[in-house]
Structures are given as C-alpha cells and as structure tokens.
C-alpha cells in the first residue's frame, strides 16, 4: 500500500503492528475529505427551500430532484469503482469528476424550469456521487489501519459540511437559502477540489488484468449470508435517511425556526464527536453493537420529529441525533465493508455499498418522501407528524430484522486464513497483501 504498508508480527498472530499515518498524507487526505463534503453540504440541506419558495416546485417534484443524487449512485458508482480498481488512478478520477461537477452546479444555479433543473441535477449526481466511494477507497488505500485512522480523516468531511452550512447563513447574506447562492458556492468548492485532487497521494488501480471483473466479484460478496443481510438492511435504512435530507429544511421552515442551514449543522457537530468515539465504540461493543445503536437512533430521531410540534426541543434532539445515526451506521458500514472485502476489489466493494445505500435506498426514499409529504399536504399546510411517522416505523422494522438475522464472523468474506494472513481479533479484518 502507499504510505505505510501493514506489518504483520508473525510471532504472535494477534499482535499486528501498524505504523502511524504519515503527516503529509494525513493533511492531503484531510483536505480532500473537507472539500468533498463541503461541496455537498453547501446546497443540499437548503436546496429544497429554494425549490419550494423561489421556484415553486411541488413536493413530488422536490423529491424527484433529490432522487437524482441517488440515481447517480445507481448508474455510475459501480462503473467508477471498476475504473478505480482496474483502469485509472483514483486521484485522476476525483479531479475529472469534480471539475465537471463544478460546471453542472453552475448550470443548476441558473436554470428555472423543472425539466432543466432535473437534467442538470442528474448530470451533477452522475459525476459527484461516485466520488463518495472513490474518496473512501483512496483513503483506505493510503492508511495503515482503517479502524484507527479512517474516523480521524472522515471527521474532516463533517467539519467541511458544517463550515459550508454556516457559510450559507453567515457569509452569503440573509435568506440565502431562498437564492441560488448556495449552488454557486458549491460550484466554486467543486472547482477547488478538482484542482486539489491532482495533489492527492498517487493511488493506482489494485486489481490485476487477469482478475474477475471487480463489479461481479463485489456483487459476489452478497452470497455470504451475514454480509448479504448487512447490505440489505443498510439499503433499507437509507430509505428512511432520505426523508431527513429531502424535507428537514422545509419542516424547520414551517415551524418558523430561522437559519435552517445552521440548525442542521448541529447534527454534523454531533457527528464529529461520535466519529471520534467510533474506534473506541467498535473495540468496546463490537461491530454489531455499534450498528444496533446507530439504527436505534434513526427510529428515535424520527419519533422526535413527529412530536416536534409539542416541544421544539424534540426537533433539536432529533437533529443532534444525526451524529449517532450517520457515524454508528453508515460510517461504521464503510469500515465493515473495508474489513470484509478482499483487498484487490476494495474500490468496487465500497462502490457496491454506496450503490445500495446512497443509490437504490436513497432513490426509493426520495421518491417515497415526496409522495408521502404531498399526500399529507393540504392547502392548510403539511401534517409533519404523520410524515415523520413513516420513516420512524420503517427504521424500527429494520432494527428488528437486523437483531434477529445478523451474526458477524471474523475474517474477510473470502477466507483470509487461506492466504496466510492472521485475523485482527478487534476488527475482524485481515491485513491482506501490500501493494
């Protein structure tokens, strides 16, 4: 691997010595994570307000526009994973996709019809969404210990999202959420990341030309029952996640809560805390315990939103729970995927996880959120109590199924012991060969 290969102490298979992450690599990966999520966070949480209050789209149309990000994952993420594993270095893919994304964000800021907004947003999603998996894969490829090092890098993405949200309210002027300024800011940030990506650690493809196609091998991981259960439940829980991203700002607006972008950053602030706690939680409670806590938080959050009309504090609690929801399920899920996938198809395995969560799950969730919200909307307004009960019940069902069905096993899905690599008793992963 680039920047610090894994060293195995063969005298004691349970004692795996991993060197520290080099500071220059840490800085570059940290900037990458910061900008990666600043681009998304600059407009995503308040875009629905602009679409509703300024462009006057209905909630079904808003849900469909938000679903374009998920379509980007469905259509292009697996393809991008194959490129990263077999064809083109990850840093070049990041540069190409983000430079193109900057152009399309500018177009999104200038159009006013639903059809034009939809196609521009879909084009942006096709370029941006694969970078979620590629940036994770690039980071995992260049760090010695995923469980120890990845949370400290990924937390910079959270800080980037927070910084972008605060900038919307405090740098772009009053009522910026009803203007195209957040989209223009996202275009500038995407341009900056596209250029900066050329300075990222060189991360060449790891798959061999004679290997099976990484796409097919990654899908083949689902034949393992427990890995399949994990991926299916992850897909289902992100249907509930879509409700949060699609309509929280509208919900806050209807409750007359000002500065919606800033209020929503409370969730990312808590995400910083729980991201830093994630390595300790994994060691103390194991992967299943962490995932169960994360899934429970989804149901509690939407329950708080549903009762938010009774006490505004419940809404704030629901927003703050985002840190537990995201870190203890989705971030932990990326780590679990890295721990389980064979090293030569890590890029495609990460892409598969994004495909099923940020892709299919989010797409269905965005469409469903639009229809549910429109169904409970009358000339008098939207009945948010009923809207939020739908994802609350869905998350509770997912949690019950996960508790009943999932049993994790140590080692990678393709038995690491047959390759002569010991299994880490803490993470359940094997270090794999070094490149």
Dist. CA 124–CA 429, nearest whole Å: 35
Whether the Cβ atoms of residue 316 and residue 262 lie closer than 8 Å to each other: no
Backbone dihedral region of 381: left (phi > 0), alpha (psi from -120 to 50 degrees) or beta? Answer: left
- Percent over 70 (pLDDT), the chain: 85
Residue 396: the pLDDT is 94
Residue 391 lies in a domain: yes
Q: Which residue has the higher pLDDT, 206 or 46?
A: 46
Residue 337: the pLDDT is 83
Residue 426 DSSP code: T
Q: Which residue has the higher pLDDT, 8 or 100?
A: 100
Closest by CA to 162, choosing from 57, 273, 16, 314, is 273
Residue 223: the pLDDT is 78
Whether the Cβ atoms of residue 65 and residue 121 lie closer than 8 Å to each other: yes
Whether the Cβ atoms of residue 242 and residue 362 lie closer than 8 Å to each other: yes
Closest by CA to 190, choosing from 44, 39, 42, is 39
Q: Can you give the CATH number for the domain in which 385 is found?
A: 1.20.1250.20
Dist. CA 50–CA 52, nearest whole Å: 5
Closest by CA to 144, choosing from 25, 10, 20, 29, is 20
Closest by CA to 17, choosing from 172, 145, 104, 123, is 145
Dist. CA 195–CA 96, nearest whole Å: 9
Residue 431 lies in a domain: no
Mean pLDDT for the chain overall: 83
pLDDT surpassing 50 at residue 3: no
Residue 378, beta-bridge partner list: 381
Whether the Cβ atoms of residue 411 and residue 430 lie closer than 8 Å to each other: yes
Counts for the chain of helices (H) and strands (E), in that order: 17, 2
Q: What domain range includes position 139?
A: 23-205+214-419
Residue 377, beta-bridge partner list: 382
Query: Taking residues 306-316, what's their average pLDDT?
Result: 91
Whether the Cβ atoms of residue 303 and residue 392 lie closer than 8 Å to each other: yes
Closest by CA to 345, choosing from 408, 288, 291, 412, is 412
Residue 91: the pLDDT is 92
Closest by CA to 102, choosing from 196, 195, 192, 187, is 187
Question: How confident is the model over 265-274, as pLDDT tens digits?
Answer: 898 889 888 8
Across 178-187, 252-261, 326-335, the highest mean pLDDT is recorded for: 178-187
Residue 379: the pLDDT is 87
When pLDDT is cut at 50, 70 and 90, the band that residue 228 belongs to is confident
When pLDDT is cut at 50, 70 and 90, the band that residue 208 belongs to is low
Dist. CA 7–CA 413, nearest whole Å: 21
Closest by CA to 53, choosing from 40, 41, 63, 62, is 62
Question: How confident is the model over 50-87, as pLDDT tens digits?
Answer: 998 899 999 999 999 999 988 887 887 656 666 766 77
Q: Write out the two tokens for 105.
A: 């964000």
When pLDDT is cut at 50, 70 and 90, the band that residue 430 belongs to is very low
pLDDT surpassing 70 at residue 350: yes
When pLDDT is cut at 50, 70 and 90, the band that residue 145 belongs to is confident
Residue 317 lies in a domain: yes
Q: Write out the two tokens for 290.
A: 């962490």
Question: How confident is the model over 354-380, as pLDDT tens digits?
Answer: 778 878 898 999 999 999 999 999 888
Q: Which residue has the higher pLDDT, 148 or 431?
A: 148
pLDDT surpassing 80 at residue 4: no
Residue 153 lies in a domain: yes
Output phi, psi for 381, to 5 deg.
130, -175
Q: Write out the two tokens for 397.
A: 């069902």
Quick count: other Cβ atoms within 10 Å of Cβ 251? 23
Output phi, psi for 42, to 5 deg.
-65, -30
What is the helix (H) or strand (E) element at residue 381, kind and residue range?
strand 381-382
pLDDT surpassing 90 at residue 15: no
Residue 429 lies in a domain: no
Range list of H helices, 111-174: 114-141, 146-170
pLDDT surpassing 50 at residue 410: yes
Query: Taking residues 25-36, what's their average pLDDT?
Result: 96
Residue 412: the pLDDT is 64
pLDDT surpassing 80 at residue 128: yes
Residue 426: the pLDDT is 35
Residue 120: the pLDDT is 97
When pLDDT is cut at 50, 70 and 90, the band that residue 423 belongs to is very low
Whether the Cβ atoms of residue 66 and residue 117 lie closer than 8 Å to each other: no
Domain count across the chain? 1
pLDDT surpassing 80 at residue 428: no
Across 83-92, 103-112, 229-238, 354-363, the highest mean pLDDT is recorded for: 103-112
What is the helix (H) or strand (E) element at residue 378, kind and residue range?
strand 377-378
Residue 8: the pLDDT is 34
End-to-end CA distance of the chain: 5
Residue 13 lies in a domain: no
Which of 173-182, 284-293, 337-346, 389-398 comes out lowest in average pLDDT? 337-346
Whether the Cβ atoms of residue 358 and residue 70 lie closer than 8 Å to each other: yes
Query: Taking residues 193-206, what's their average pLDDT?
Result: 91
Query: Taking residues 230-238, what's their average pLDDT?
Result: 88
Residue 60 lies in a domain: yes
């Amino acid at each position: 691997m680039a920047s610090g290969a894994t060293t195995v102490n063969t005298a004691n298979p349970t004692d795996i010595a991993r060197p520290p992450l080099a500071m220059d690599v840490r800085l570059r990966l940290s900037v990458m994570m910061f900008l990666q999520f600043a681009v998304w966070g600059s407009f995503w949480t308040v875009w629905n307000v602009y679409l509703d209050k300024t462009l006057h789209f209905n909630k079904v149309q808003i849900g469909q526009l938000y679903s374009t990000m998920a379509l980007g994952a469905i259509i292009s993420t697996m393809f991008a994973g194959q490129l990263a594993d077999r064809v083109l270095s990850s840093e070049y893919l990041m540069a190409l996709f983000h430079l193109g994304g900057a152009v399309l964000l500018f177009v999104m800021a200038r159009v006013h019809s639903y059809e034009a907004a939809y196609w521009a947003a879909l084009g942006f999603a096709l370029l941006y969404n694969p970078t979620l998996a590629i940036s994770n894969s690039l980071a995992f490829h260049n760090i010695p210990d995923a469980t120890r090092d990845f949370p400290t890098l990924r937390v910079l993405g959270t800080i980037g999202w927070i910084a972008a949200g605060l900038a919307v309210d405090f740098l772009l002027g009053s009522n910026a959420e009803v203007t195209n300024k957040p989209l223009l800011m996202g275009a500038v940030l995407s341009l900056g990341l596209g250029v900066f990506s050329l300075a990222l650690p060189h991360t060449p493809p790891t798959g061999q030309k004679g290997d099976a196609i990484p796409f097919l091998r990654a899908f083949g991981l689902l034949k393992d029952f427990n890995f399949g259960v994990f991926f299916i439940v992850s897909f289902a829980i992100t249907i509930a996640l879509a409700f949060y991203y699609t309509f929280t700002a509208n919900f806050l607006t209807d409750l007359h809560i000002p500065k919606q972008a800033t209020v929503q950053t409370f969730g990312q602030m808590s995400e910083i805390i729980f991201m830093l706690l994630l390595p300790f939680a994994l060691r103390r409670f194991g992967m299943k315990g962490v995932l169960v806590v994360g899934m429970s938080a989804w149901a509690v959050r939407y329950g708080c939103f549903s009762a938010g009309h009774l006490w505004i504090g419940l809404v704030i609690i629901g927003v703050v729970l985002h840190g537990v929801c995201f870190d203890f399920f989705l971030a932990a899920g990326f780590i679990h995927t890295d721990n389980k996938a064979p090293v030569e198809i890590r890029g495609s395995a990460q892409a598969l996880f994004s495909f099923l969560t940020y892709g299919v799950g989010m797409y269905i969730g965005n469409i469903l959120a639009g229809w549910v919200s429109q169904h409970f909307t009358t000339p008098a307004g939207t009945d948010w109590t009923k809207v939020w009960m739908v994802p609350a019940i869905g998350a509770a069902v997912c949690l019950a199924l996960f508790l009943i069905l999932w049993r994790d096993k140590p080692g990678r899905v393709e038995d690491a012991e047959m390759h002569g690599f010991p299994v880490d008793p803490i993470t359940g992963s094997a270090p794999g060969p070094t490149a």
